[in-house]
Amino acid sequence: MAPLTGIQRVERHAAQLGLRIDVRERMRAGSLEEAAEILGIAPRDIVKTLVVKRSDGTFLFALVPGDRQIGWPKLRTLVGVNKLQLPDADTALTATGYERGTITPLGATTAWPVYADTSMTGRRVSLGAGEHGLSLFVDADELVAALGATVADITEPLAPRQ
């Protein structure tokens, strides 16, 4: 049997969790702002799934609204470590089975712990769907509950672009 595609893994995992998702095709976007415009939503409604590496070589997922960035001191304190980092693209692919821009905790090759920023809750959000050209929409509260995510203040506003 052929291995499952990224979207098949996402849909299978969502079904196992009883999570309702809506997957939509979209043109490839060059930026988060462009993706939001294509989808007809605000950038804050696109939730980035960031793979974060711990010093022991394990990983976690950080769910971060598009208009925010990881607050490293906050996340380190919450996780109880003094060092975290974003891995390179190849390491993220190995850790999740997904390429950057498609990463989601749903259907990842390893069920790493999930940390979701409090500012993403209470609304419908869009995430990567396991493949380029696809976005998934889900109720954020249902997602964090289904994944058993830790919901906390782990972000800060994006720094202004220079």
Interval 63-75: pLDDT, tens: 999 999 999 999 9
Please check whether the domain covering 6-157 is classified as CATH 3.90.960.10: yes
Quickly count helices (H) and strands (E) in the chain.
5, 10
What is the chain's mean pLDDT, rounded? Answer: 95
Alpha carbon distance 64, 13 (integer Å): 21
Q: What kind and span of H or E run contains 150?
A: strand 150-152
Q: Is the pLDDT of residue 161 over 70?
A: no
| C-alpha to C-alpha distances, 12 to 1, 16, 85, 108, nearest whole angstrom | 16, 6, 30, 11
How large is the angle between the packed helices 6-17 and 140-147, nearest 10 degrees? 80
Residue ranges of the domains in the chain?
Answer: 6-157
